Structure 1
């Protein structure tokens, strides 16, 4: 995949590459918070004005948005342009025909701004169902100030992280830990470890089959437990006793008592802003276990923009979509409200104009350069996630051993995948 830094010499302005259609009245839907709503409303206005279209915005928070889109798609009443969560694609477009095929609009939308891998991730049965607004992936962030205080260089392997646990306890105190990880963070860290060890992703994105054996999964769970035993991460029960607050609200994180976290690259600002003055947060990328076959990166489109298959205004929608993602007016208005943009033109323009920070670009480059097999959207199916995280919580509280937990996870995930 192309790293953002390699495209800075590219032209910042990508213009429409097709002819403008007659003025149309369109609808566009998305979810998000207030800042995303403000930016996107401005973007649809400037892009609508540019091409003479009127675009009615339809926006909500995250809660209930899936149900809203599902109801609209079932009745054929969805917006012409939609922000769609990547894991929803196989749900709403099982055969690839649930959304318009954007390949049909390659004379209007400059698809060259995305890599082949990025487009493949949003293609179903040969149909390009959407364009990634951004790609996000998990990597390790460490508080360099805390590691310096412990007299340690930032780790370059998982073994170095493991070795740091006792040193943190000895030099800084029992309340200091090199890393944190419960819930989703623990689940994805275990998945990273097993992917590295086996060379296989959890669910095959082509066949929808679970690829790990119980023994392979158990090895990852056992390594996580060793992190708890070696004072690398605070245990699940201890985190719960402290209130189970999100990382960015955790005083131990803000004060540097937690030395690192395995997070989405797009959360940099969210987890950096709470740090007290003088602390330095550094992205170090993916850390490998001994004998790893790949980096085990969990990389996915964070969200995509799709055009309705029912819309009779698809050409106009394609013009607006290209403007939002590839043209200077839309790029400026949209900003980085959805992370570092996947569109090369947008990423270059925002970096040049200060719309994104260099560390965000560096973290994104680490994610994009990391090696691992592709993941399946079904990794984020609610039943799949619940099966993994609920079972890991039982394991963390001692109600299951690692062998029982691995068997239980595979049973629950296979059950969830039966109807997929």
Structure 2
């Protein structure tokens, strides 16, 4: 009996110690978080947080710009939250839902509908016009960021899909830029003899490529203006057959094996990407001495819809919960219009839409940049390009298509079964 009591007593002590250690760990982590948020904050400074996603280049110039901002505005201390795109959207969801988002944040255009359909999810920038030069933006640009009369965000640049091809490889095979979908298959037949794929791209770009084909071939939008799926199960089945044909005939490299290295080393001849990714896909190849061509998107003759879309590349917004709206506005103005920051960013996110930013960059060869050239080509076709429907970029919808389409691509389902699965999955998450 004594031994049982002794054992029971030890167990209770161990449980108490475990609970104590857990509470101590949580307390220490909270202190670390608080310390990291306030580090280097001097007495009298106001602390705000800036968040963004991107590549190493973007991180480097943004942090350099933030350092300069704090030198110019010693009363404001800026802490930075940043990372690559993968996983960032999920973290943003957690921060936003817990009201712990940054004071100033880079957001995706689609997030306006996700977090601020009624216009109250982000701060109304109209209320901060004393600190932000809104006149530097056209009414159309401001319209993109407006919900229910509230100016929630300002676009940094405009974005659309472009195609870049390794011109040296095209020359090697006696090929030129494709103009329609048939051209893609004919070109793929030639380059596939040496094991090459004609095109490679991310899962989002594949989804948008297929939407373009669907809309050109049917004359209908795949998603309604309210973001609801408009395609039928039979139409999705036909689209799946076309998708598989593109992969089987080497028009399109399978998403799961494609990476930028395949494009850089010539295993993949061309790429479809956002204009804002030009440095990653065109400039990087040209720096190796490779000739790269900007080619038009494929079109069907007589198509009623082009199926191609344009959107703000990314946007800057201020949290509706910020405790320092003035300081946040001063930082946002700096990010968009300050000559020093504008020069650092250049065209990395695309050609800026701020007239002040364009003025600065025009003095430093803006018209010679590949982003400017691509943007001008898209502008020539503005009449046939639609503003993007946010759900087209919704991660859950893209995953619902990609993951289920794999069942057909790898012969685990027929097209009709797979189309029904895709249809039901998209309806569930849209």
Same fold (TM over 0.5): yes
Secondary structure at the counterpart of residue 200 of structure 2: coil
Change (3 A) 1:77 1:192: same
Change (3 A) 1:277 1:34: closer
Change (3 A) 1:34 1:276: closer
Q: CA shift at 1:99, angstroms? A: 0.6
TM norm structure 2:
0.78
Q: Give the whole-Å Cα distance in 2 for the aligned partners of 1:69 and 1:182.
A: 21
Name the structure 1 match of 2:277. 267
Q: Give the whole-Å Cα distance in 2 for the aligned partners of 1:113 and 1:120.
A: 14
Q: Check if 1:388 corresponds to 2:398.
A: no
Q: Check if 1:313 corresponds to 2:318.
A: no
Q: CA shift at 1:40, angstroms? A: 1.8
Q: Give the whole-Å Cα distance in 2 for the aligned partners of 1:156 and 1:59.
A: 43
Q: Give the whole-Å Cα distance in 1 for the aligned partners of 2:247 and 2:64.
A: 48
Match of 1:398 among 403, 406, 411: 411
What aligned pairs does 1:338-377 form with structure 2 within 5 A after superposition? 338-354=349-365, 358-368=369-379, 369-370=381-382, 371-377=384-390
Match of 1:190 among 202, 210, 224: 210
Name the structure 2 match of 1:125. 148
Name the structure 1 match of 2:239. 220
Q: Which has the higher helix share?
A: 2
Change (3 A) 1:265 1:43: same
Q: Check if 1:61 corresponds to 2:87.
A: no
Change (3 A) 1:414 1:405: same
Change (3 A) 1:64 1:288: closer
Q: Give the whole-Å Cα distance in 2 for the aligned partners of 1:395 and 1:210.
A: 20
Name the structure 1 match of 2:178. 155
Q: CA shift at 1:102, angstroms? A: 1.6
8 Å contact kept, 1:37–1:59: no
What aligned pairs does 1:29-178 form with structure 2 within 5 A after superposition? 29-50=51-72, 53-62=75-84, 65-169=88-192, 173-178=193-198
Q: CA shift at 1:398, angstroms? A: 2.0
Name the structure 2 match of 1:10. none
Q: Give the whole-Å Cα distance in 2 for the aligned partners of 1:405 and 1:183.
A: 18
Q: CA offsets, 1:224-251, max 9 Å, x none?
A: 33334544335x3xx76xxx141x212x
Q: CA shift at 1:362, angstroms? A: 1.3
Name the structure 1 match of 2:335. 324
Name the structure 2 match of 1:8. none
Q: CA shift at 1:136, angstroms? A: 2.4
Q: CA shift at 1:325, angstroms? A: 0.5
Deviates more, 1:350-359 or 1:381-390: 350-359
Q: CA shift at 1:373, angstroms? A: 3.0
Q: CA shift at 1:139, angstroms? A: 2.0
Query: Number of residue pairs matched?
Result: 383
Q: Give the whole-Å Cα distance in 2 for the aligned partners of 1:220 and 1:351.
A: 44
Change (3 A) 1:258 1:337: closer
Match of 1:254 among 245, 256, 264: 264
Runs (5+) with no aligned partner, structure 1: 1-21
TM norm structure 1:
0.79
Q: Give the whole-Å Cα distance in 1 for the aligned partners of 2:134 and 2:234.
A: 42
Q: CA offsets, 1:108-137, max 9 Å, x none?
A: 433344444443333223322111223322
Superposed CA RMSD: 3.1
Q: CA shift at 1:301, angstroms? A: 2.6
Change (3 A) 1:322 1:199: farther
Question: Which has more radius of gyration?
Answer: 2
8 Å contact kept, 2:285–2:292: no
Larger RCO: 1 or 2 (CA < 8 Å, sep 6+) = 1
